[in-house]
Amino acid sequence: MKRLGGYGPGTAVVAVPLGIALAGPLLVGEPTARAASFTLDAGHRLGTDFVGRDVVQQVLLGGRPVVLVALAATVLVYLVALPVGLACALTHRRWLEEVLMRPLDVLLAVPSLLMILLVAAAFPPGKAGLALLVAFVSAPDATRIVRAAAAEAASRPAVEALRMQGESWWRLAVGYVGRSILRTLAADAGIRLTGVLYLVATAAFLGIGVAPDAADWAVMVDRNRTGLIVQPWAVVVPALLIVALTMGGNLLVDAAMERRTPVRKGRRT
């Protein structure tokens, strides 16, 4: 797919939100005294939020949870997807494959946000719970992709040869098949990360897995909406940062995919 430029635009767009998310908490000074809510006076460059906290400080603090939860969820996805996908691709027992893969078809039929809401209604999660939950709804699709890629690699003559040499399952799965599917995995991980980021931010906006006054960009957008008319910065700045983060992330992933792998059709986040 032809776009404007390679890594340039994506890096430019993602640099600011990612920088704030990672370095922001280091730059925050002592929390200032609470002022009146939704004011725009001289002491606060971007005004105050719904409980009178400084918006600049909240913005600096609010990126890290979004990014960290998304990263943790992506890692968790592959902790499930890799072993299950590889086991399915390498096994010669059809029933094992069916037992492992069929339930995923069913999970794919449930809208991901609905699943998150449903589980959250039963067990209100914390940050770790949210990461687990997002990983749980993202895992079926990732598992399918791992399995498809690994099945192709596992049918190569080299695998047959390794088997006849009596190589262990571990060397076969990790040493050969795992290494051959690295590129597909890298591309999929990028797509997965943008999808997970979307789910994490949306869930936080809906109040799942976060405290009602948490320093979190998505929560800021939600809680400060009531003061949008008097004090737009408390909403607009975090919303812009989320837009830049997801948009830039997606541009980067696409640039990377174009460089490293042939076009993959019908992808899904």
Partner 1 sequence: MNALRSWIARRLLLGVLQTAAVVLLVFGLTEALPGDAAVAFAGDQPDPQRIAAVREAMGLDRPAHERLTDWVVGLLHGDFGTSLTSGRPVAGFLADGFGPTLLLATLTVLILVPVSVGLGVLAARHEGRLTDRLISSATLGVYAVPEFALGVLLVSVFALRLGWLPPTAVGYGTDLLAHPAALVLPVLVLLARPVCSLARLVRAGMIDALAAPWTAHARRYGIPGARIRYGHALPNALAPATQQLARTIDWLLCGVIVVEALYVIPGLGTVLMNAVADRDIPVVQGLAVVFGVATVLLNLGADLVTHRLAPRSGAAA
Binding stretches for partner 1 (CB under 8 A): 1-4, 9, 13, 105-106, 109-114, 117-123, 194-195, 197-198, 201-202, 205-207, 218, 221-222, 225, 228-229, 232, 235-236, 239-240, 242-243, 246-247, 249-251, 254, 263, 265-266, 268-269
Distance from C-alpha of 248 to C-alpha of 67, rounded to nearest angstrom: 13
Least distance in Å: CB of 62 to partner 1? 13
Identify which of residues 156 and 225 has a Cβ nearer to partner 1 in the complex.
225
Least distance in Å: CB of 120 to partner 1? 7
Identify which of residues 69 and 172 has a Cβ nearer to partner 1 in the complex.
69
* Residue in 104, 93, 189 with CA at minimum distance from that of residue 143: 104
Identify which of residues 48 and 112 has a Cβ nearer to partner 1 in the complex.
112
Identify which of residues 59 and 242 has a Cβ nearer to partner 1 in the complex.
242
Helix (H, G, I), strand (E, B), or coil: what is residue 72? helix
Q: How far is CA 62 from the centre of its chain?
A: 16
Least distance in Å: CB of 130 to partner 1? 14
Give, in order, the Cα–Cα distances in Å from 138 to each of 62, 77, 92: 24, 7, 26
Identify which of residues 34 and 225 has a Cβ nearer to partner 1 in the complex.
225
Least distance in Å: CB of 111 to partner 1? 4
Expressed in angstroms, the distance from the first to the final Cα of the chain is: 18
* Residue in 119, 181, 191, 194 with CA at minimum distance from that of residue 151: 181
Least distance in Å: CB of 261 to partner 1? 15
Sign of dihedral through CA atoms 71, 73, 76, 77?
negative
